[in-house]
Structure 1
Amino acid sequence: MQKSLHRRARTLVAAGIGVVLVAAGLIPSAASAAESPSTVSIDLEGTWKFATGDDPAYADPSFDDSSWADQTVPEDGANFASYDGFGWYRLTFDLPSEASGQNLVASLGFLDDVDEAFLNGVRIGGSGTMPPNASSQWFEKRLYPVPSTAPVFGGENVLAVRVYDMNGGGGWYQGPVGIYSRDAVRATVYGIDGEYASSSQTAAVTAVLAAQKAALATGDVDGFLATLDEDYFHDGRTKERRERELRAWMAESGSLTLTDGEVEVVVGDGGDLIVDTNRTITGTREGAAFTFQPAAQEFLHIDAESLLETGNASRFFRETVDSELEGQPREFVTYLPPSYLDDPDRDYPVVYLFHGINGGSREWEPRNIDDVLDGLWAGGLAESIVIMPDGESLWYIDNPGGVPWRSMFLTELMPLVDGEYRTLESADFRGTTGISMGGFGAYSIGLSHPELFSSVASHIGALSVARGAVPSPLTQVASMSTDELNHFSFFYDSCEYDEYRFDEAVRTLDTTLTEKGVAYTSAVYPEGRHNDDCWMPHLVDSFTVHSDSFRSHGLEEDSTNPPTDPVDPDPGTPVTTLTVDDAAPTAGASLTVSGSGFVSGESVTIELRSDPVVLAEVSADDAGAFTRSVTIPADTTPGAHTVVATGESGRSASIAITVAAADDSGTDTGSTPGTTDDGDNGGDSGGDSGGGSSADGSTASAGSLPLTGVDPVPAILAALILLSLGTAIVVVRARRSS
């Protein structure tokens, strides 16, 4: 939030109620309420100083930054909209003397792509890898422990943050930003703000943790399980799954070392005891030290009466598959729908959601994708399990001489998901959705495995990109028969000013599927670039396609919540259609175009793609419809084209036509070819570059992506067949503007 005092942070120091700290590997007695330290919560959001460039002197607290620009943190990314490179943020603030002796944490929220932070010149943390071998961690939550020697208590401090933006958008895009004690981090970052447990409750919890530690140390899995409630569910693990996991680890290691660090116990809203701990489990594998459960902050839930651990009942969490193919764990994020824990007899469809380049499975957390998905089901779509694998920048293929990602996914990760969760193990109830590079993965994997998937979706997808021996999705679709393609439900979209021209890939795929007589849902939104603003408002559209597909295959849903018709974000929005009176017009001839389902009175642009040429600007009538006679320019290139109608509201529809060469007697109608703007250089939050090889084997690069051409002869024959049967109609779902 914006502060009223320039570069001065608002400070809150409140008395704590009680605390227990458990040092790594040790469990000392609990501190009494009188011994508890104070809560420290220093809000650092507001006006900072900012400059581009890079100089180690910028970390020095004595550096004079008075000439730097004022910058609100978090920001909108404007500093890196057309700039890739280094930038520094600096803030001067006071730390109260009462904070002395505290275990402080600097919460820096989310930065894109790489960062490191300095408090009074002391490096306190960093995420990602700086150049020359830069590696992005734009999706990682920054929580950096503050060394006790770094702060100046009762005086002035300087926090300097060095950021490196690799490509696309960048900067400090999300909070919370501040200096906190551990209890304040718990409340501010995780929303857990219960009072500290009493001394007797803390002692009881300490005994439970000690029992778990002792059981694993002696190889007594049953002793550990005795501390778990029968209905235990923690980050996807039931009691039975936890037992299998521990016994497998114990078979390898003989004994396990459980370590809890910096433990605090608070009382939850329902009266349960919440244990805030940094927990890890280590042992040996093949005689060498091995970490079975990496150190991570966890919130264990323990029933206050039975003192049994019940689990966090989370529906959105990280986990790993222990990949033999990769020789290491592969992380993925799991989302379970709202009814999953309450309806134990119900099985669910699964959608695999693939991220873009320079991203990872954790990038869905700052997008609050769990809340987004909850909203889709509340809007009437079929509840589904959603799995978000970590694909790094591996393009979801088996990389020659490198990571066999696709084999890992198909033979290890998917079987794990079906084995541990109540999934419907049929292609009829599986779908893929991907963003940018993930669009390539969703289509390439889905189309290659009709025995596993029946719906495929792409947002701003790299559908025109090939990777090594793996063809582009455009090439793959072109090589498939109508019967093969009709197995799938299709969704794909892009924005008009996509930097990598993935909008052209959408139009090419429109043409190919139309010629093959295959139904699809697609859109090129009239504004927008290759970033989250383009696709996030339309996630409902791709999941509508999945939901429709699942229900068309007979999905059985909860009897207490019977299936409902899928709804658009704007209830009552009609389907948008476009028709023409001639599917094979001659260049220079007139063509009657009719549309419906647009917003009453809105302006609608009719374009001929892919020359492109604006044919007309019309206004929809009160019913959201129009009919307009337009002229095909005489110099139009013969072959396959697409007529697109786009309303100001963002609703659009398209239809494929095949233009025949004009007669010598034809006249030029005077239509003026339009132009397209590639937009400025930028990308999605992950900086997806969309690089790679195009379908024809050439190199695809930002702003100039070669696309495979279409042989006009079969297209003309197909159009004539359609014409003999009647006017061809392509239906495109209504869109709403973002």
Structure 2
Amino acid sequence: MRKRPPWRLGAVSLFGLFAGLLATCSTALASSVERHHFDSTTLGNPYPYTVYLPDGYADDSDTVYPVVYLLHGSFGNERDWVAKGNLKQTADRMIRAGHILPSVFIMPGSRSWWVDGHNEAARSAFFNDLMPHVEERYRVGDERAMRGVAGLSAGGFGALNFALERPDLFAAVAALSPASYAPFPPANSSANRHPAFLNEQGEFDRQLWEQLNYTAHLEDYRIQVTPRPAAKESDVLPVPLYISAGRSDVFDAELHARQLRQSMEKIQPNDVHLDLYPGGHTWQVWRASLPAALTFMFQHIGQPAQSESGE
């Protein structure tokens, strides 16, 4: 594996970079999708992922790309976003139209709900293994402004939690029909039977759910992104949040999405957006909302931060 060159971008150089990225977009994009895996120390087994590489991507290029992590849903896998979510076609079209920057999309696989649950330390593996691997293997930026995270259903649960726990790492987050149920999952949710939340007795671990759900992160997140006394700005910026849900979702995702929006608007009133779509907890809704989610995210990804410490 090649060694990562010592390139880092400051806020000033980002403007010129992104103008160049958009200028390289051709009418017919020759993007690629590849499946890979690497040995995860945290998991003790191979970590699978699918990667979308934009037209013109080359390991020996000087171009640095934004990276977006896309998380799958409960009992899904790393192939879902390409096979069912039309990620390649959507990204190609949006890059060609100039709606988003040419970017690398990483679609990891997990047997958990993106948590350190009873069956797999998925959260730790994401932060400690996957992100370092991606930033060494691919020509992606390692600044907050160059990263986004998104997911659907259980992946929306995971993406939201990642952004709330580490707002210093992500410039934007999107949660599509997030399975971020408060206080507990509905009876028909797969969370009730997923190995991530089943204790040794095979019962749903309500205490673990409460510890891992987004509601447990809100106060620490609020403290991180709220200016301290006598300070005009906080050291860490809020993570703008896009939420979507289907109006006929069998898990009542609209209700929980509205609760999530209300909770987040108390912390960052100008950085939360909710879209509602006709349909249920299905790929039809997620495919429909993906362009809006990416458009929202790329209003913030690739934008030089003005108030983060050290920049």
What TM-score do you get using the length of structure 1 for normalisation?
Answer: 0.31
In the alignment, what sits opposite 1:416? 133
For the residues of structure 1 that align with 2:248 and 2:220, how far apart are their CA atoms? 28
Once the two structures are superposed, the pairs formed by residues 153-192 of structure 1 within 5 Å of their partners are: none
Assess if the C-alpha contact under 8 Å between 2:245 and 2:275 holds in 1.
Answer: yes
* Unpaired runs of at least 5, structure 1: 1-236, 242-312, 555-738
In the alignment, what sits opposite 1:395? 113
Once the two structures are superposed, the pairs formed by residues 461-500 of structure 1 within 5 Å of their partners are: 461-464=178-181, 468=208, 470-477=211-218, 480-481=221-222, 484=225, 486-500=237-251
**376 and 343 in structure 1: CA distance in 2 versus 1, 3 angstrom threshold:** farther
**449 and 537 in structure 1: CA distance in 2 versus 1, 3 angstrom threshold:** same
Assess if the C-alpha contact under 8 Å between 2:159 and 2:174 holds in 1.
Answer: yes
Q: Deviations over 1:614-633 (max 9, x none)?
A: xxxxxxxxxxxxxxxxxxxx
In the alignment, what sits opposite 1:534? 285
For the residues of structure 1 that align with 2:42 and 2:110, how far apart are their CA atoms? 15
In the alignment, what sits opposite 1:118? none
Assess if the C-alpha contact under 8 Å between 2:157 and 2:180 holds in 1.
Answer: yes
Could you tell me which of 370, 375, 384 is aligned with 2:103? 384
**431 and 451 in structure 1: CA distance in 2 versus 1, 3 angstrom threshold:** same
Shift of 1:515: 3.2
Larger Rg computed on CA atoms: 1
Q: Between 429-438 and 508-517, report the one with greater CA deviation.
A: 508-517
Assess if the C-alpha contact under 8 Å between 1:349 and 1:430 holds in 2.
Answer: yes
Q: Deviations over 1:450-503 (max 9, x none)?
A: 232121111111122566163322453366427627521110110111111111
Could you tell me which of 134, 147, 154 is aligned with 1:430? 147
Once the two structures are superposed, the pairs formed by residues 578-727 of structure 1 within 5 Å of their partners are: none
- Verify: 1:518 aligned to 2:259, yes or no: no
**323 and 515 in structure 1: CA distance in 2 versus 1, 3 angstrom threshold:** closer
In the alignment, what sits opposite 2:92? 374
In the alignment, what sits opposite 1:329? 46
Shift of 1:354: 0.3
In the alignment, what sits opposite 1:629? none
For the residues of structure 2 that align with 1:483 and 1:419, how far apart are their CA atoms? 28
For the residues of structure 2 that align with 1:482 and 1:553, how far apart are their CA atoms? 23
Could you tell me which of 278, 291, 294 is aligned with 1:543? 294
**Structure 1 counterpart of 2:288, one-letter code:** P
For the residues of structure 1 that align with 2:67 and 2:275, how far apart are their CA atoms? 24
Q: Percent identity?
A: 28
Assess if the C-alpha contact under 8 Å between 1:478 and 1:512 holds in 2.
Answer: no
**463 and 340 in structure 1: CA distance in 2 versus 1, 3 angstrom threshold:** same
In the alignment, what sits opposite 1:459? 176
Once the two structures are superposed, the pairs formed by residues 32-181 of structure 1 within 5 Å of their partners are: none
In the alignment, what sits opposite 1:267? none
Q: Deviations over 1:184-210 (max 9, x none)?
A: xxxxxxxxxxxxxxxxxxxxxxxxxxx
In the alignment, what sits opposite 1:315? 32
Assess if the C-alpha contact under 8 Å between 1:356 and 1:435 holds in 2.
Answer: yes
**Structure 2 counterpart of 1:376, one-letter code:** M
In the alignment, what sits opposite 1:360? 77
For the residues of structure 1 that align with 2:151 and 2:298, how far apart are their CA atoms? 16
Higher strand share: 1
**524 and 321 in structure 1: CA distance in 2 versus 1, 3 angstrom threshold:** same
Assess if the C-alpha contact under 8 Å between 2:247 and 2:276 holds in 1.
Answer: yes
For the residues of structure 1 that align with 2:132 and 2:120, how far apart are their CA atoms? 19
**Structure 2 counterpart of 1:495, one-letter code:** G
For the residues of structure 2 that align with 1:536 and 1:361, how far apart are their CA atoms? 16
For the residues of structure 2 that align with 1:489 and 1:517, how far apart are their CA atoms? 8
Shift of 1:317: 0.7
Assess if the C-alpha contact under 8 Å between 2:31 and 2:56 holds in 1.
Answer: no
**419 and 479 in structure 1: CA distance in 2 versus 1, 3 angstrom threshold:** closer
Aligned partner of residue 434 in structure 1, secondary structure = strand
Assess if the C-alpha contact under 8 Å between 1:474 and 1:505 holds in 2.
Answer: no
For the residues of structure 1 that align with 2:242 and 2:82, how far apart are their CA atoms? 24
For the residues of structure 2 that align with 1:524 and 1:314, how far apart are their CA atoms? 30
Shift of 1:342: 9.3
Q: Deviations over 1:553-592 (max 9, x none)?
A: 26xxxxxxxxxxxxxxxxxxxxxxxxxxxxxxxxxxxxxx
Shift of 1:321: 1.6
Aligned partner of residue 356 in structure 1, secondary structure = coil
RMSD: 2.5
**Structure 1 counterpart of 2:107, one-letter code:** M
For the residues of structure 1 that align with 2:45 and 2:146, how far apart are their CA atoms? 30
Assess if the C-alpha contact under 8 Å between 1:354 and 1:388 holds in 2.
Answer: yes
**Structure 2 counterpart of 1:498, one-letter code:** D
Aligned partner of residue 248 in structure 2, secondary structure = coil
For the residues of structure 2 that align with 1:517 and 1:369, how far apart are their CA atoms? 29
**Structure 1 counterpart of 2:90, one-letter code:** V
Aligned partner of residue 263 in structure 2, secondary structure = helix
Shift of 1:506: 1.4
For the residues of structure 1 that align with 2:167 and 2:41, how far apart are their CA atoms? 25
Assess if the C-alpha contact under 8 Å between 2:74 and 2:153 holds in 1.
Answer: yes
For the residues of structure 1 that align with 2:59 and 2:36, how far apart are their CA atoms? 22
For the residues of structure 2 that align with 1:320 and 1:547, how far apart are their CA atoms? 27
For the residues of structure 1 that align with 2:129 and 2:224, how far apart are their CA atoms? 30
Assess if the C-alpha contact under 8 Å between 1:482 and 1:516 holds in 2.
Answer: no
Q: Deviations over 1:112-166 (max 9, x none)?
A: xxxxxxxxxxxxxxxxxxxxxxxxxxxxxxxxxxxxxxxxxxxxxxxxxxxxxxx
**439 and 484 in structure 1: CA distance in 2 versus 1, 3 angstrom threshold:** same
Aligned partner of residue 549 in structure 1, secondary structure = coil
For the residues of structure 1 that align with 2:280 and 2:214, how far apart are their CA atoms? 21
Shift of 1:396: 0.6
For the residues of structure 2 that align with 1:478 and 1:325, how far apart are their CA atoms? 28
Shift of 1:449: 1.1
Assess if the C-alpha contact under 8 Å between 1:459 and 1:493 holds in 2.
Answer: yes
Assess if the C-alpha contact under 8 Å between 2:70 and 2:107 holds in 1.
Answer: yes
Assess if the C-alpha contact under 8 Å between 2:167 and 2:221 holds in 1.
Answer: no
Shift of 1:408: 1.4
Q: Deviations over 1:669-698 (max 9, x none)?
A: xxxxxxxxxxxxxxxxxxxxxxxxxxxxxx
What TM-score do you get using the length of structure 2 for normalisation?
Answer: 0.71
Assess if the C-alpha contact under 8 Å between 1:335 and 1:387 holds in 2.
Answer: yes
Assess if the C-alpha contact under 8 Å between 1:459 and 1:535 holds in 2.
Answer: yes
* Unpaired runs of at least 5, structure 2: 4-29, 185-196, 198-207, 227-236, 306-311
Shift of 1:338: 1.3
**Structure 1 counterpart of 2:254, one-letter code:** D
**314 and 533 in structure 1: CA distance in 2 versus 1, 3 angstrom threshold:** closer
For the residues of structure 2 that align with 1:502 and 1:441, how far apart are their CA atoms? 15
